[in-house]
Amino acid sequence: MALIETETAPERIELHAEHHPHLAHHFESMEQQREAGTLGMWWFLLTEIMFFGGMFLAYTVYRHIYFDAFAAGSNVLSIWWGTFNTAVLIASSLTMALAVFHAQMGNSRKVVRFLLFTIILGTIFLRVKYIEYSDKFEEHVFPAGDFRWPIEHEANRPNNVGDMLLMLIGAEPLNSSPQGPEHAFSVKVTTKYAEKGPYYGVGGQVPEEVQDPGFGGHVRMYFWLYFAMTGFHALHMIIGIGLLLMLAWQARKGKFSREYHSYIELTGLYWHFVDIVWIFLFPLLYLVDRHL
Amino acid sequence: MSEHIVPKKIYYRIFGALLVGTALTVIFAFINLGNFNIVAALLIAIAKALLVITFFMHVKYSSRLTKLWVAVGFIWLFIMLAITMTDYLSRAWLVYRP
């Protein structure tokens, strides 16, 4: 009873009137509140760095040990979709930054507009990722896949990705590649083995890795990492799009102002962080072994 | 210290620089630089990440405490990668078979 009286006492109401309605009582000022929010968000992002860092570490170690298998695996990915998606994600970071800019200017209508642009670009990214994933599943190129193009779909075989990997792991293709076993890809990789010298084979000879059943397993390790890293990245994008939808809705209803827009700014930090993860994933997964 | 508002012009410039970086990294990927392909790829990626962190994420205009926070995060990541790799790179008794 006493508590309720305190809450409704006139002096409490006066105190509320003195400061911004969105200022929490444990902060001195809006400025301090904003600073604390930024720091808290960065704290969360540091745990995210460690989360993705573990997978980047696994990638580094396994790429070091299974260098050739990783080269084989990465050459199977579509560099065009990868580049396209990188550009889309960078553009979404720009629209996100502009949404924050308009929030700082207190221009709610433009905030909504740029948040929607960001959502659209994020959705395009995920749609392309879906195409890439389903291509890989159709080619039977995934961690548990047998790397064999299914014979019942022979007519629409897009390329001979599966056969390339089959030759690398030394298995007989179910359906032979139209270009025969001397496919450029396998020749290129074999030549690379020869150049590696004693480290990868004895005396610079072409070693028998190509018949080594372990090689297929090492390529699988590459695809484990590919799907885990891009999958978790995509999950972060999905969460980010959910947050942006919520913000766009709230901005439309006029929740944010020139003085109060922390949610938009902090979600922006999250979105840019996800962009940074992709900035590293793209060269490491798609690009580094293209020259081989 | 009031909130710093970055002019739109800077955002567009950073966007342009990031696209140029993306183009460069794709071009470099097809040139055989031997062991330096990975170095070039990582240098470009780090440069791009720094642009995003500094300008898009406003770290340049943030408090010193925030800057320290950010630096600590990446330094820890570096320590984790570096110390683990000193182990793997020095396992001379392992003959790595692809």
The answer to whether residue A83 is domain-embedded is yes
* Confidence category of residue A148, pLDDT binned at 50, 70, 90: low
pLDDT at A234: 97
Domain limits for position A70: 58-155+218-287
| Tokens encoding A172 | 């007989």
- Per-residue b or e along A235-251, where b marks 16 or more CB atoms closer than 10 Å to that residue's CB: ebbeebbebbeebbebb
Single-letter code of the amino acid located at A58: A
Alpha-carbon gap: A138 to the closest alpha carbon of chain B (Å): 26
pLDDT at A47: 96
Q: CB–CB of B73 and A83 under 8 A?
A: no
Q: Does residue A196 surpass a pLDDT of 80?
A: no
The answer to whether residue A230 is domain-embedded is yes
Give the separation between CA B98 and CA A218, rounded to whole angstroms.
Answer: 7
Tell me, yes or no, if A215 comes closer than 8 A to chain B by beta carbon: yes
> How many domains is chain A partitioned into structurally?
1
Alpha-carbon gap: B67 to the closest alpha carbon of chain A (Å): 9
Question: Which range in A57-66, A151-160, A229-238 is most confidently predicted, on average pLDDT?
Answer: A229-238
pLDDT at A173: 41
The answer to whether residue A196 is domain-embedded is no
The answer to whether residue A39 is domain-embedded is no
In the A/B pair of chains, how many CB contacts fall below 8 A? 155
Tell me, yes or no, if A133 comes closer than 8 A to chain B by beta carbon: no
The answer to whether residue A243 is domain-embedded is yes
Chain A residues with CB-CB distance to B73 below 8 A? 42, 45-46, 49
Q: CB–CB of A291 and B97 under 8 A?
A: no
Q: Tell the burial category of A101 from Cβ atoms under 10 Å away from its Cβ (0-12, 13-18, 19+).
A: buried
Q: What is the helix (H) or strand (E) element at residue A110, kind and residue range? A: helix A108-138
pLDDT at A208: 46
Chain B residues with CB-CB distance to A43 below 8 A? 69
Single-letter code of the amino acid located at A105: M
pLDDT, mean of residues A152-161: 49
pLDDT at A178: 42
pLDDT at A152: 52
Q: CB–CB of A31 and B29 under 8 A?
A: no
Please tell me which of the candidates B1, B11, B31 has its beta carbon nearest to residue A291: B31
Q: CB–CB of B69 and A46 under 8 A?
A: yes
ipTM: 0.93
Single-letter code of the amino acid located at A161: V
pLDDT at A162: 52
Q: Give the long-range contacts of residues A183-189, CB within 8 A, separation 24 or more.
A: A185/A75, A186/A210, A188/A292, A189/A68, A189/A71, A189/A72, A189/A292
Q: CB–CB of B26 and A287 under 8 A?
A: yes
Please tell me which of the candidates A31, A93, A97 has its beta carbon nearest to residue B2: A31
**Chain A window 35-64: which residues touch B at a Cβ cutoff of 8 Å?**
35, 38-39, 42-43, 45-46, 49-50, 53, 56-57, 60-61, 64
pLDDT, mean of residues A233-249: 97
Q: Does residue A166 surpass a pLDDT of 90?
A: no
Q: CB–CB of A87 and B22 under 8 A?
A: yes
Whichever domain contains A257, its CATH number is 1.20.120.80
Q: CB–CB of A200 and B98 under 8 A?
A: yes
The answer to whether residue A187 is domain-embedded is no
Q: A64-73, A277-286, B30-39, B50-59 — which is least confidently predicted?
A: A64-73
Tell me, yes or no, if A194 comes closer than 8 A to chain B by beta carbon: no
Q: Which residue has the higher pLDDT, A269 or A166?
A: A269
pLDDT at B64: 93
Per residue in A22-42, pLDDT tens?
Answer: 888 888 888 888 889 999 999
* Confidence category of residue B52, pLDDT binned at 50, 70, 90: very high
Chain A residues with CB-CB distance to B12 below 8 A? 94
Give the separation between CA A149 and CA A161, rounded to whole angstroms.
Answer: 8
* Confidence category of residue A89, pLDDT binned at 50, 70, 90: very high
Chain B residues with CB-CB distance to A61 below 8 A? 84-85, 88
Mean pLDDT of chain A: 78
Single-letter code of the amino acid located at B83: I
Locate the chain B residue with the closest alpha carbon to A80: B26
* Confidence category of residue A177, pLDDT binned at 50, 70, 90: very low
The answer to whether residue A6 is domain-embedded is no
